[in-house]
Amino acid sequence: MESMELLKKLSEAHGPSGYEDEVREIIREVVSPFADEVKGDALGNLMVWRHASRKDAPVLLIDAHMDEVGFVVSHVETSGFLRLAPIGGWDERVLPGMCLQVCTRERKKIVGVIGTTPPHIQSSDEKRNPLTLEQLFLDVGCGSRDEVFALGIRIGDSVVPAESFKTLSSNVVSGKAFDDRIGCALLVELMTFLADQPRLGVEVVALFSTFEELNARGAMVGAFTVNPAAALVLEATVAADVPSVPETRCPTRLGEGPALTLMDKYTHCHPRLVRALEATAQQNNLPYQFKRPIFGGTNAARIQTTRAGVATAIVSVPCRYIHSPSSIMRIADYEHTKQLVTAFVLDAEQWIRGEE
């Protein structure tokens, strides 16, 4: 499967935190024929093994989270409008007018629109102040609660943006859930590539994790199970190379290659692994950048502190507008990240053992 075809399929899948089933099924179907071993767990994580050339090899865990930010149906009004509760962090300013997709228990997909009072009848104060999620509602075209229930919608059903994957130009694509379906796509491609290579001196375990947007609990459990010597987290991260954002507050920029994290709000990446990633990029003539300033967090925080501690690093693809209905990514950044991660993993044994 071609890279962008895979990313399109993953991006359009329905999978907020705790409801990752559809994403997991896509990944399992694609990667299972290339895997030595595939396992799940009680939290919905999917773990995929590529065994090493020997039994005593160190374990390299590579993580990408399957979940996206979304909502859950929290109440159905007698008039047929739905109230929502957030799953993960949303900027509520982007919500009015957004098209959303409800997934019922039977996996029926129903599209609605986040409605508001029209500006024509708003007071001056209402126009000046951004609306909160509590003031908003989802309109699925029903006139009563009974009509909503007749569609199969119930309290607790999951909701995500109803956004399709698009090609904006020859090198730019947009879509929902790039955080972190991009990481998932990269990891699927890595595991399929390794299946055709000689076995390495490290055991490679791909962890497609759940619940990253809700305190990274999936990665915590998955890392405990795998017990790795080192870990690499694949992410999509904030690109803010847009008007009105000063350079000092721009974490990454599109077109400048994969982003290496030195530290964020919760993680200090292992210096040896960061140096190894930087050296790998330089040796392979790949562009790269450092993520800045120090904020945000990823699954790395949970993985790094598992058991007796895990040497952990983070590589991210820069994306504009993550945690919104549509993110934007440069295909070149994706390809350069894939090349960097592949080269790093092929030489992982020396980096894990500290042979720089």
Q: Which element (helix H / strand E) includes 100?
A: strand 99-103
Q: Which residue has the tokens 């359009």?
A: 12
Rounded Cα gap, residues 35 and 32, in angstroms: 5
C-alpha angle 235/240/246, rounded to 5°? Answer: 140
CB contact set of 30 (below 8 Å; sequence gap of 6+): 1, 6, 188, 192
C-alpha angle 261/208/284, rounded to 5°? Answer: 45
Residue 116 CB neighbour total at 10 angstroms: 15
Dihedral pair phi/psi, residue 57, rounded to 5°: -70, 145
Rounded Cα gap, residues 271 and 276, in angstroms: 8
Which residues are catalytic, by number? 212
Contact 20, 66 (CB under 8 A): yes
Q: Which residue has the tokens 């071993």?
A: 37
Dihedral pair phi/psi, residue 27, rounded to 5°: -65, -45
